[in-house]
Chain A
């Protein structure tokens, strides 16, 4: 009797179960994962851009604002940052089809 009731309780608790196969749910998870990965890359890229700006500002202030002095250093800073974040950069460029 009590076992029957337990079986009934289990059946009722399982009544809200979704279908065993639900491709739409899987697609939603994958879509959300893509969005998160894109956001992450964007944040990394943003951090890279901010570091370039900071380095450039610092170098410009050291060189007294002279373009000849600061340009090579800024160039090296930009190149280094691009190299460090190359994977993220490539993915973002690919995302925007550039």
Chain B
């Protein structure tokens, strides 16, 4: 019931954004920035790229507010935009990936030598070794409690592929955590 109210509020909020309300836009950002940025930080190699795409996501929400059809929640719609933006920047990401990989490897090496049992770093490392589609699926289904169907709709990936990504991702992460014990 309470969730439905929030959803309803979100739709009202987006209607106000559509009419050009700055206040509504500010509220929309405040309400969803954390979820969108967390999702993108799971996808991208570094936080600054993720935040850059998150900013572009909210700009797109401002200009494309009319394109929201009311299918699914506003947050799912924002995730879809964020996903498309992240995919679009993939080419650019590949160019900088090498630099980031070098940076991350040295960062992880330093961190690992300090604290070899830090599961957070190991999970991040494991995530970076996965393809982008799988990372997005894991962030939605294992990191945010979205169902397989919702993730499939948001990412535009077939349901069977989503299920397989989640299964393999969960297995990999559980093994990683299991090894830690």
Contact = CB atoms under 8 A, between A and B. Distances in A.
B38 interface: yes
Contacts of B56: 32
Given A26-B29, A26-B33, A28-B55, A9 B142 contact: yes
Interface in A1-21: 2, 5-6, 8-10, 12-21
Contact of A5 (B33, B37, B59, B174): B174
Contacts of A25: 29, 33, 37, 51, 54-55
B62 A33 contact: yes
Q: Is the interface of A mostly helix, strand, loop or mixed?
A: helix
Contacts of B59: 29, 32-33, 36
Contact of B55 (A5, A6, A14, A29): A29
A29 B25 CA distance: 10
Contacts of A8: 119, 177
Contacts of A29: 29, 55, 58-59
Contacts of A15: 120, 123
Interface residues of B, number: 33
Nearest to B22: A30
Contacts of A36: 59
Chain A contact-residue range equals: 20 to 34
A30 B27 CA distance: 12
Contacts of B177: 5, 8-9
A6 B34 contact: no
Interface in A26-60: 26, 28-30, 32-33, 36
Given A14-B38, A25-B54, A9 B170 contact: yes
Contacts of A20: 34
A19 B54 CA distance: 14
Given A13-B139, A33-B59, 6 more contacts: A9-B123, A9-B174, A17-B38, A25-B51, A26-B33, A30-B26
10 contacts: A5-B177, A6-B142, A9-B173, A17-B37, A18-B34, A18-B37, A21-B30, A25-B51, A28-B51, A28-B55
Interface of B: 26, 29-30, 33-34, 37-38, 41-42, 47, 51, 54-56, 58-59, 62, 119-120, 123-124, 127, 138-139, 142-145, 170, 173-174, 177-178
